[in-house]
Amino acid sequence: MEWSYKIGTIYGIPLRLHITFPMLIIAYAALFGYEYGLMAAFRGSILILLLFACVVLHELAHSKQAQRYGVKVRDVTLLPIGGVSNMEHIPEDPQQELRIAIAGPAISFVIGIVLLMINLAAGLPVFDFNFEKIATSSSYIFVYLAWINIFLAFFNLLPAFPMDGGRVIRAYLAQRMNYIKATHIAATIGKIFAIIFGIVGFVINPILIFIAFFVYLGASSEEQSVMVGESLKGLRVKDVMNAQCVTIPAETSLLALVEKIFHGSCRGVILVTEEDQYVGLASQENILSAIHEHGLDIEVGKIAKRDLPTVSPEDRLDDIYRKMQRDQQRAYAVTDREELVGIISLEDLGRAYSLVAALRSEKE
């Protein structure tokens, strides 16, 4: 994820921290410290750090369960709104998706119950605490932490896609209907919850408006992603790739390249070669940025993205679509036995999806 930085590795899974996360620590420190002083501000910071340690355990539960089914977990990223496990794909078996989805809330619930039992054993009134007690006594931090974990367990199980509960609903429905329809129903339920959150947020707590925005966008994004991915199943890279693409030598200046673009001989993402061997890609965004920064005399080889993975003509198109989403890459060079044979871009996938969707609509 952009604007996030690696802070460690747990069970072989990189742990990343989003640049906005420290803002939450500062906000809680200010909230506690404004009324109760410096020590309260320190307790507020500790509370957030402990809470997100619990969030890491929640996400690791998802990730470890996914790894049991052969799913590669690229990383876990901590955001101000929680954690995100970045998996290469979701298993097609609904039972496996169900177990992955339920693992996180189960861990949060167990953490909450264990902390409650410890607090009860310590003689703390677990049903009688308030903001002032948390701010003025370190002991009550763990009472709050217990209840917030239990709350997070149940909140995440709300059937509001893309939260864990939404994935549970989709996994349940996918055992009774096709995956696209199951995702559509789960996403629709998620959007309804988002609207409810938004309305309640205007009346009670503005934070719910932020959550509503996140849930609605997440549901829409997941639905679109599944619709495109499922529609592309059965197609291969060779079916839609551009085999007539123009290659540009690395020593070509940006001025000469821009002239080719204006004349229509180059467009989209450009394949860059050295001594007739593929070395990288140059996108329109790279070119425009380089012109502003270096002028028109710089060689295209110096701005090309190198060491990018290539794909095979026989690769499945739905796998390539997920790969583009995962790598945030708009195009890949296509090679066959190390020979450059074409290029496939997100636009090519979009055209293929539009055609498949039109054919399906015609049949219906």
Length of the chain, in residues: 364
For the record, the structure tokens of 236 come out as: 């291969």
Q: In terms of DSSP H, where are the helices of 37-178?
A: 38-68, 94-121, 131-136, 139-156, 164-174
Question: Nearest CA to 217 among 281, 266, 161?
Answer: 161
Cα separation of 112 and 115, whole Å? 5
Cα separation of 18 and 96, whole Å? 29
Helices 164-174 and 94-121, packing angle to 10 deg: 140
3-state secondary structure (DSSP) of residue 130: coil
Cα separation of 268 and 342, whole Å? 13
Strand segments, DSSP code E, in 117-253 are: 247-249
Q: Is 339 a catalytic residue?
A: no
For the record, the structure tokens of 32 come out as: 């506690």
Helices 317-327 and 346-363, packing angle to 10 deg: 130
Cα separation of 212 and 199, whole Å? 9
Instruction: Write out 6-19 in H/E/C secondary structure.
Output: EEEEECCEEEEEEC
Q: Is 116 exposed, middle or buried (0-12, 13-18, 19+ CB in 10 A)?
A: buried
For the record, the structure tokens of 61 come out as: 């539960």
For residues 182, 187, 192 and 195, what is the CA-based torsion angle, rounded to 10 degrees?
180
Cα separation of 317 and 237, whole Å? 6
Cα separation of 302 and 248, whole Å? 13
Q: Which one of 59, 222, 223, 299 is the catalytic residue?
A: 59
Question: Nearest CA to 212 among 1, 203, 83, 148?
Answer: 203
Catalytic center residues: 59
